[in-house]
Amino acid sequence: MLFTLIGINQRALVQAIFNRAAWLYALAHGGVTTLFVSSIALLFGASTELLMAATAVCATGSLFATPAIVRSVGFDPLVAMAYTISSTLMMPVILYINLAVFSGDEFSLDLQSYCLRLIIFILGPMVIASLIHKYAPQKHLSRIHGKLAQFTILLVFSFPFGLTGQYRMLWNDDRSFAISMFFMAFAICVLFFMIGLALYWRKGREAAYVAAITSGNRNVLLTYSVAGAFLGPLYLPLVGALQFPIFLQPIMVKFLLRRRNIKGQRVEVNKRKTE
């Protein structure tokens, strides 16, 4: 989070966070995806435990590393950072609604733990980045950030290894269900991506891909720290199954963009030849 924030103008970021567009995205990120996923799950007769796990993932804010992923595919990370923060702040509200609707038991949210993580992972890095921008020469800062960006991507792709343990246990206990859950997780991730892409397609290609990538990445560990055992026994296995499709996204987006650019260049060359 800090390494990405160093490359972002903090005043512009604060303005983007207080912009209505960021909060409309947050509603789409949690609310629209919940409507789609819960409708499909109910249509196929999903169990209460699976429905709770899937809708908890829907409520989850975007991964803190999302802006770094957006930067890695060649887009401006500022909007992605604003979307990440707004969806994270919206998460407890949507999670509370989802648990109230889909859980038959009493539950509680650990908001103290949530607020502590917001301070550590969002407010703290923003304050440090502001101080760095204020006192560090811009010339040196740009060069240093170019080096830090490379390490940021390595850190991003090492993150999933800590979240796959429960899925591995499910694989050992019930392999057929584990395989089904993997394809289910893949479908959920693709659905998140497509919802973001469809909702923002009219605003241009970059805006659509930024929204799609941000929607596809989910900070599932933060949600678990807030609600814990109230999310049901299938939440952590589903989280583990989600890691591969989530971190496959930037590779696929980069491939699609490169293919689109090559196709566009060929069309332009053929057009010039005919002229």
- 95 band by pLDDT with thresholds 50, 70 and 90: very high
Residue 93 lies in a domain: yes
pLDDT computed for residue 125 by the predictor: 87
pLDDT computed for residue 267 by the predictor: 45
Residue 38 lies in a domain: yes
Tens-place pLDDT, residues 119-176: 888 889 888 888 888 887 777 776 776 666 666 666 766 766 677 888 889 999 999 9
Residue 243 lies in a domain: yes
More confident residue, 43 or 5: 43
Residue 232 lies in a domain: yes
- 201 band by pLDDT with thresholds 50, 70 and 90: very high
Number of separate domains in the chain: 1
Work out the percent of the chain whose per-residue pLDDT is above 70: 87
Structure tokens at 135: 């006192």
Residue 275 lies in a domain: no
Structure tokens at 28: 């789409």
Mean pLDDT of the chain: 85
More confident residue, 270 or 175: 175
* Closest by Cα among 124, 128, 117 to 61: 117
Q: Map tokens 């009219």 to a residue.
A: 202
pLDDT computed for residue 40 by the predictor: 94
* Closest by Cα among 57, 51, 46, 82 to 67: 82
Can you tell me the mean pLDDT for 72-85?
A: 89
In angstroms, how far is CA 232 from the centroid of its own chain? 22
pLDDT computed for residue 66 by the predictor: 86
Q: Residue 54 sits in which domain range?
A: 2-270
Residue 263 lies in a domain: yes
* Closest by Cα among 76, 99, 117, 115 to 207: 76
- 107 band by pLDDT with thresholds 50, 70 and 90: confident
CATH of the domain at 204: 1.20.1530.20
Alpha-carbon gap, residue 27 to 31, rounded angstroms: 5
DSSP-derived secondary structure for 49-102: HHHHHHHHHHHPPPPTTHHHHHHHTTS-HHHHHHHHHHHHHHHHHHHHHHHHHH
Residue 91 lies in a domain: yes
Tens-place pLDDT, residues 8-25: 888 898 899 999 999 999
Count of residues in the chain:
275
